């Protein structure tokens, strides 16, 4: 068909106008009011950790049982930004870095010799958890649902001194363990806007690590309310729960941690 005919020129003009209209609509489209173009949240997580560690060492088998640590406040930071109107990235980071003083007991074999001991571990336990996820948000109104895929980095370390009795002989020894790994991350989310000043959200995430030096999983979830005192600045009240379970096969070392409690943040959105 020749583009010189009136009908061809009309079709070409119509297609061009439709294409320009589509591009203009995409350029001026707005994301759901339940989402922000970009935001940063900084705050603290108040929790009473429940920790269990066990493993075979040259000093005997360490088995702390379930240790209920003192209530503590952990720093936490979150950030997010959109690419377009329904895709974006979410970041999250928090750290547990506190004294860890459980009792020790257990029986094991080391180099073919039976070892039995009990005592006290005076140590520092540190957990670092950071994640990044690519999010896809479904919905354009006041309610949106999100699916995210990404990666999570975690690092666990215990360092201190064990004092006690091993095979009937009293003594003390330094103890240090540290492991870190990357693992795939799956996230689910929900956002609802009540008004320009108030929002509600739900998050759930799971990390599963197989292979390498460390195996295990980390599951977590949170529910929160946001209240904006200005168009850009708000306060966030949240309840969050996390379960961390890591295992190292070569010496049967395992660390299990539960962190549940309220959190509060100052949120700045752009």
pLDDT at 1: 46
* pTM flag (> 0.85): no
More confident call, 6 vs 246: 246
Q: Is 94 found in the same domain as 144?
A: yes
- Extended beta strands in the chain, E state: 38-47, 50-57, 60-63, 67-68, 72-83, 87-100, 103-110, 113-138, 143-166, 169-195, 198-209, 214-228, 233-248, 253-269
Say what percent of the chain tops pLDDT 90: 41
Q: Number of structural domains, the chain? A: 2
Q: Is 196 found in the same domain as 95?
A: yes
Q: What is the pLDDT of residues 8-58, one digit of tens each?
A: 444 444 444 444 444 443 344 578 999 999 999 999 999 988 887 776 655
Handedness of CA 85, 86, 88, 94 (dihedral sign): positive
Q: Is 165 found in the same domain as 46?
A: yes
Domain hosting 25: range is: 1-30
Q: Is 242 found in the same domain as 112?
A: yes
Neighbouring residues of 210: CB distance < 8 A, sequence distance ≥ 6: none
Q: Is 60 found in the same domain as 3?
A: no
DSSP strand pairing (38-47 vs 143-166): unpaired
pLDDT at 21: 44
Check if the beta carbon of residue 259 is closer than 8 Å to that of residue 44: no
Q: Is 196 found in the same domain as 253?
A: yes
More confident call, 115 vs 123: 123
Taking the C-alpha atoms of residue 218 and residue 257, their distance in angstroms, rounded to an integer, is 9
Q: What's the rounded mean pLDDT across residues 184-209?
A: 94
Q: What is the pLDDT of residues 209-259, one digit of tens each?
A: 777 777 888 899 999 999 999 999 999 999 999 998 888 877 677 888 899
Q: What is the CATH number of the domain that holds 52?
A: 2.40.128.90
pLDDT at 117: 59
CB neighbours of residue 11 within 10 Å: 13
3-state DSSP assignment of residue 15: helix
Place of tokens 């705050």: 43
Nearest to 201 by CA among 165, 170, 163, 227: 227
CB neighbours of residue 102 within 10 Å: 21
Q: What's the rounded mean pLDDT across residues 77-88?
A: 95
> Which residues sit opposite 243 in a β-bridge?
219, 258
Written as one string, the DSSP assignment of 95-142 is: EEEEEE--EEEEEEEETTEEEEEEEEEEEEEEEEEEEEEEEEEE-SSS
Q: What is the pLDDT of residues 179-189, one digit of tens each?
A: 788 889 999 99
Q: Is 113 found in the same domain as 9?
A: no
Q: Is 127 found in the same domain as 5?
A: no
Q: Is 108 found in the same domain as 12?
A: no
Taking the C-alpha atoms of residue 173 and residue 171, their distance in angstroms, rounded to an integer, is 7
Q: Is 148 found in the same domain as 23?
A: no
- Extended beta strands in 58-86, E state: 60-63, 67-68, 72-83
Taking the C-alpha atoms of residue 60 and residue 232, their distance in angstroms, rounded to an integer, is 56
Check if the beta carbon of residue 199 is closer than 8 Å to that of residue 225: yes
Check if the beta carbon of residue 240 is closer than 8 Å to that of residue 217: no
Q: Is 224 found in the same domain as 124?
A: yes
Q: Is 26 found in the same domain as 105?
A: no
């Amino acid at each position: 068909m020749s583009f010189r005919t009136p009908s061809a020129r009309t079709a070409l003009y119509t297609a061009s106008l439709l294409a320009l209209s589509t591009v203009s609509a995409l350029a001026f489209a707005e994301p759901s009011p339940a989402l922000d173009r970009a935001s940063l949240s900084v705050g603290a997580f108040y929790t009473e950790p429940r920790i269990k560690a066990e493993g075979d060492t040259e000093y005997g088998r360490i088995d702390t049982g379930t240790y209920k640590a003192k209530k503590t406040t952990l720093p936490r930071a979150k950030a997010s930004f959109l690419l377009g109107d329904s895709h974006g990235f979410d970041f999250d980071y928090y750290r547990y870095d506190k004294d860890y003083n459980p009792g020790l007991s257990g029986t094991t074999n080391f180099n073919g010799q039976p070892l039995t001991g009990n005592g006290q571990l005076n140590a520092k336990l540190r957990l670092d958890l950071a994640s990044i996820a690519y999010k896809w948000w479904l919905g354009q109104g006041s309610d949106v649902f999100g699916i995210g895929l990404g990666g999570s980095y975690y690092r666990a370390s215990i360092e201190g001194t064990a004092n006690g009795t091993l095979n009937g002989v009293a003594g003390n020894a330094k103890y240090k363990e540290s492991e870190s790994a990357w693992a795939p991350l799956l996230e689910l989310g929900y956002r609802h806007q009540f008004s320009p000043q108030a929002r509600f959200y739900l998050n759930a995430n799971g990390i599963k690590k197989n292979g390498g030096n460390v195996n295990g999983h980390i599951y977590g979830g949170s529910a929160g309310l946001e209240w904006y005192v200005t168009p850009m600045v708000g306060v966030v009240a949240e309840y969050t729960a996390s379960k961390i379970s890591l295992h190292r096969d070569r010496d049967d070392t395992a660390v299990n941690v539960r962190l549940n409690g309220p959190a509060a943040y100052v949120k700045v959105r752009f």
